Amino acid sequence: MELSGNGVRNGAAATAVTLIPGDGIGSEVIGAAITVIEAAGLQIKWDRQLAGAAALEAAGNPVPDELLRSLRRTHIALKGPLETSVGEGYRSVNVYLRKTFNLYANLRPTHSFEGVHTPFRNVDLVVVRENTEDLYAGIEHLVTQGVVESVKVITARASTRIARFAFEYARHNGRASVTAIHKANIMKLSDGLFLKCARKVAEEYKDIRYDEQIVDAACMRLVTNPGSFDVLLLENLYGDIVSDLCAGLVGGLGVVPGANYGERGAIFEAVHGTAPDIAGKNIANPVAAILSGAMLAAYLGYADAARRIREAVGAVLRTGSVLTPDLGGKATTTEMTAAVLRAMKASTAAYGSAAAV
Ligand code: NAI
C-alpha cells in the first residue's frame, strides 16, 4: 500500500499543503524538498507557517493559532524539524501536533542505498511507531523533593489501532512479517496490554508472520542481523529510539524519511532533528526531507512522481560523486539537490524517448 489520502492525481487542481520549514537545518532541507517536489510535477499550494523556536521568536508562541488553523484546513503538512529544549522550556511541538491531529501512526521506511557505505547490507525494514501515548503522554509530577514520576499510558484502543496499521501496511506492501517489540517481561501490565492487542490483531492476518522480541534483544539483533527484520511494531518511546538506531544502519539520519498518518490527514517529516551543529552551513543532507516529499507525493495520489523522486535519489547516491559530508562527500545541500533534479530530468528524458520509439 502506498498510503494515500485524498487521491488527488496529476492534472487536478493544486492541493493546499501546510508548509512548516522548522528550525535549524529545517529551511535548508525543506527548501530542497519543495524544489524537487515541484520539479516532479506536483501541483501544490503551499501555506507557509512557523512553528517551534522560529514561531516563539517571531510570534511569542511555539504553536501559533494560525498554524493550527492552517492544519485544520489542509489536513496535510510537509514539516521540517522543530527544536525542543532538554529538561526545560515548552513541551515538544511535534508531540503536540501528532496528538492534536490524532496522527497515530509514525511510519519510517529504512533501507540500504547502493553507494552509501555502511557495515550493513540489504537492510529493508519499516518502523511503525505508535504516536499518541506511552511516556509521551507528558504526565510527570514531583512526588516530593528529589522524587519525580512519569506516567506511561498504554490503551487497548491505541495499541489495537497501531497494530492494525502495521498489518495493513505489511499486507499492502508485500511484507512478510510484523515483529512487535516490547519490554513486557518488566512492564507486564502496560507492554503486556500492547502485546495482547497485537496478538489479537495478528490473528486476522494469517498471511503475515507475527513474532515478538524484547526491545534490548531486538537492538542487538538489529546490529547483528538487520536483514532478519521486516515491519517493526513499537510503542512510542521504543519506536523513537529504535528508528534512530535503524537510521544508523543505512547511512544515518540524513537519508531516512518519515510520515505521521491519522484517519483524516498526515504530516510528512524526516526522522532527523534540527541538527544545530551543522545548521546554516548549507551542508545538511537533503535526502531524508526529499524522500519525505516522495511519501507526500504518494499520499496525494502522485504515484509516478513519488517513484521518480525515489529513483533520482537512488541514482545520485549510487553514483556517489555528489554527496554531503555525512555520507563522506564534500557537496553542499544545494549541490546535492541539484544532482537529484538532474537525475530526475535525465530519467524523464530517457523515459520520454523510450516511450516515443
Ligand atoms: P539531530 O537529528 O538534530 O542530530 C543528530 C546528529 O545527526 C547530528 O550530528 C546532526 O548533525 C546529524 N544530522 C541530522 N540530520 C542530518 C542531515 N539531514 N544531514 C546531515 N547530518 C544530519 O538530533 P539532536 O541533535 O538530538 O536534536 C537536535 C534538536 O532537534 C533537539 O531540539 C530535538 O528536540 C530536535 N528534534 C526534532 C525532531 C522533529 O522535529 N521531528 C526529531 C528529533 C529531534
> pLDDT tens digits for 170-194?
999 999 999 999 999 999 999 999 9
Per-residue pLDDT tens over the stretch 277-312:
999 999 999 999 999 999 999 999 999 999 999 999
Going from the Cα of 336 to the center of ligand 1, the distance in angstroms, rounded, reads 19
Number of H helices, E strands in the chain: 11, 12
Q: What is the mean pLDDT of residues 231-256?
A: 98
Report how far residue 200's alpha carbon sits from residue 174's, in angstroms, rounded to the nearest whole number.
21
**From the CA of 27, how far away is ligand 1's center (Å)?**
13
Probe target for ligand 1 pocket from 90, 95, 272, 290, with the most ligand atoms within 8 Å of CB: 272
Give the binding-site residues of ligand 1, using a 6 Å CB cut-off: 25, 29, 81-84, 94, 253-254, 269, 272-278, 284-285, 288, 326
Query: What's the confidence (pLDDT) of residue 328?
Result: 96
Q: What is the pLDDT of residues 194-225, one digit of tens each?
A: 999 999 999 999 999 999 999 999 999 999 99
Task: Write b or e for each residue in 229-261: b if 16 or more Cβ atoms lie within 10 A of its Cβ, otherwise e.
Answer: bbbbbbbbbbbbebbbebbbbbbbbbbbbbbbb
**Residue 75 — pLDDT band, cuts 50, 70, 90?**
very high
Residue nearest (by alpha carbon) to ligand 1 atom 27: 273
pLDDT digits (tens, 9 = 90+) for 313-340: 999 999 999 999 999 999 999 999 999 9
Asked whether the CA dihedral 296, 310, 118, 216 is positive or negative, the reply is positive
Q: What is the pLDDT of residue 10?
A: 45
- Ligand 1 centroid to 156 CA: how many Å? 32
Q: Are 171 and 211 in contact (CB under 8 A)?
A: no
**Torsion angle in degrees (nearest 10) through CA of 300, 32, 85, 93:** -20
User: Which are the contacts of 289, defined by CB distance < 8 A and separation ≥ 6?
Assistant: 29, 30, 32, 33, 80, 257, 270
Instruction: Give the pLDDT confidence score for residue 91 in this predicted structure.
Output: 86
Q: What cell numbers appear for 105 in the block?
A: 501512526
Mutate which of 50, 88, 271, 274 to test ligand 1's pocket (most atoms within 8 Å of Cβ)? 274
SS3 letters for 154-172? CCHHHHHHHHHHHHHHHHH
Could you write out the DSSP letters of every residue in 167-204? HHHHHHTT--EEEEEE-TTTSTTHHHHHHHHHHHHHTT
Angstrom distance (rounded) from CA 252 to CA 287: 11
Q: Is 216 a catalytic residue?
A: yes
pLDDT of residue 193: 98
pLDDT, one tens digit per residue, over 109-132 is: 999 999 999 999 899 999 999 999
Set out the domains of the chain in order of their start, with CATH numbers. Answer: 1-107+252-357 (3.40.718.10), 119-249 (3.40.718.10)
pLDDT for the residue 88: 82
Query: What's the full length of the chain, in residues?
Result: 357
